[in-house]
Amino acid sequence: MPKTQYNRTVYVDLPAKVNLFLHVCGRREDGYHLLESLVTFTEFGDRLSVRSADEFIFSAHGPFAKDLPSNPDSNLVLKAARTLKEEAAADTGAQIMLEKNIPVSAGIGGGSADAAGTLRSLAELWRLKVDIQGLVQMARAIGSDVPVCVHSIPAIIEGAGEKVTPQDPLPACGVVLVNAGDPVSTGSVFFARKGTYTRSFPWPEITSFDQLVFELALRRNDLSESSVKLSPLISDVLTTLSETRDCAYFQMSGSGGTCFGLYPSQQLAVEAARSISQSNPNWWCISTKFRTSCPGLRIE
Ligand code: C5P
């Protein structure tokens, strides 16, 4: 019997992640930093489809496909596929197609989202008996942000990303994401970071947009100083966001360089994104909103 016995295609959306705040609370003996971060996911993101094949065949298209690493060992989709195959002792491969809409090395979890979606969709394609906790376990070995991307719901992450505590959906608001085009290496940003550690303090239940903004203003992104040193354009992006009409909060996500602005309505976010794009035509800028649930798998 051929190994490609299941003639199915599994499709999944891969939301971009936004770190609404990110505190560096300490450092482990292996050098990894201990974090506390509120992570949310957007309607905007990459898209992935997988179908049966004897070997792994990977292809990518979309605006940022050209920026993916050419070395297959650095490709997080293939890393996830191989990890799952090994862990599940699967004896087949897959044709994996990625629509790369999220900028690469941009602090909004593109690679992690792709890896998480690969785990979820291949587990379905291969009809593996592995639950979400099993996938999260495998996700840890692929990258710090991959476990929370398997959940793709608002969550506080702690440790080096391995502790994920789900949160209620955030109040509806408009979101703008802006990136000036400099790729930023996460490892270099952590390496360049100086200063003390932030003491962890609890994130409350959020019931309104105003309260969300109030609580975020008490927190920060502890990586922004070192990211701005490595990529000074990030500070121009933050200033530009701050000057848009009705921007209630702005900050850098993850290790940068993407920054986000929050607006009381979707319409205000659309207008802000339009004005930023007009005055900075070379920047990547979109308006979106936060997802309230994890995207489901579609099977054909
Ligand atoms: O896990 P990920 O591949 O995203 O991390 C890239 C690099 O960032 C790591 O090799 C490490 O140097 C640094 N890092 C860290 N602490 C974290 C996450 C990442 O020091 N919690």
The verdict on 234 and 209 lying in the same domain is yes
* Residue type at position 190: F
Please report where in the chains the tokens 């300490």 appear, as a residue. Answer: 26
158: which 2 tokens? 């702690």
pLDDT 10s digits, 173-199: 999 999 999 999 999 999 999 989 999
* Residue type at position 119: L
CA dist., res. 98 & res. 84, Å (int): 18
Distance of CA 163 to the CA centre of its chain: 16
CA dist., res. 143 & res. 229, Å (int): 24
What's residue 188's pLDDT? 97
* CB-CB contact of 273 with 179 (8 Å): no
How close is the Cα of 234 to the center of ligand 1, in Å? 20
292: which 2 tokens? 């309230």
What's residue 65's pLDDT? 98
Q: Residue 1 — very low, low, confident or very high, per pLDDT cuts 50/70/90?
A: very low
Domain containing residue 121: CATH number: 3.30.230.10
User: Is the shortest distance between the CB of 37 and ligand 1 below 6 Å?
Assistant: no
* Nearest atom of ligand 1 to the alpha carbon of 191: 12
The verdict on 132 and 55 lying in the same domain is yes
Instruction: Indicate the number of domains in the chain.
Output: 2
What's residue 2's pLDDT? 45
User: Is the shortest distance between the CB of 244 and ligand 1 below 6 Å?
Assistant: no
Round to the nearest angstrom and report the end-to-end CA distance of the chain: 22
Q: 258 is in which domain, residue-wise?
A: 174-288
How close is the Cα of 208 to the center of ligand 1, in Å? 33
* CB-CB contact of 227 with 189 (8 Å): yes
pLDDT 10s digits, 10-54: 999 999 999 999 999 999 999 999 999 999 999 999 999 999 999
Task: Pick the last residue of a domain from 167, 190, 225.
Answer: 167
pLDDT 10s digits, 232-256: 999 999 999 999 999 999 999 999 9
Catalytic positions: 17, 145
Q: What is the mean pLDDT of residues 140-157?
A: 97
* CA torsion angle 131 75 292 288 (round to 10): -170
The verdict on 52 and 186 lying in the same domain is no
Return all residues near 231 (Cβ < 8 A) that are at least 6 apart.
180, 182, 184, 256, 257
Does residue 297 form part of some domain?
no
CA dist., res. 129 & res. 271, Å (int): 46
**H helix or E strand, kind and range, residue 53:** strand 33-53
How many residues are given for the chain?
300
The verdict on 156 and 185 lying in the same domain is no
The verdict on 190 and 274 lying in the same domain is yes
Mutation test of ligand 1: which of 27, 33, 114 has the most ligand atoms closer than 8 Å to its C-beta? Answer: 33
Residue identifier of the C-alpha nearest atom 7 of ligand 1:
187
**H helix or E strand, kind and range, residue 134:** helix 132-140
Is pLDDT at 163 greater than 70 in this prediction?
Answer: yes
**3-state DSSP call for residue 254?**
coil
Is pLDDT at 3 greater than 70 in this prediction?
Answer: no
pLDDT 10s digits, 57-104: 999 999 999 999 989 899 999 999 999 999 999 999 999 999 999 999
User: Is the shortest distance between the CB of 22 and ligand 1 below 6 Å?
Assistant: no
Residue identifier of the C-alpha nearest atom 12 of ligand 1:
187
Is pLDDT at 124 greater than 80 in this prediction?
Answer: yes
Residue identifier of the C-alpha nearest atom 14 of ligand 1:
32
79: which 2 tokens? 């890393």
* CB-CB contact of 222 with 199 (8 Å): no
The verdict on 91 and 119 lying in the same domain is yes
Does residue 294 form part of some domain?
no
Does residue 4 form part of some domain?
no
CA dist., res. 258 & res. 40, Å (int): 14
The verdict on 58 and 145 lying in the same domain is yes
Task: Pick the last residue of a domain from 113, 132, 167.
Answer: 167
* Residue type at position 145: D
* CB-CB contact of 233 with 246 (8 Å): no
Does residue 135 form part of some domain?
yes
Does residue 47 form part of some domain?
yes
How close is the Cα of 144 to the center of ligand 1, in Å? 7
Task: Pick the last residue of a domain from 131, 148, 167.
Answer: 167
Domain containing residue 235: CATH number: 3.30.70.890
Residue identifier of the C-alpha nearest atom 8 of ligand 1:
187
* CB-CB contact of 126 with 104 (8 Å): no
What's residue 7's pLDDT? 83
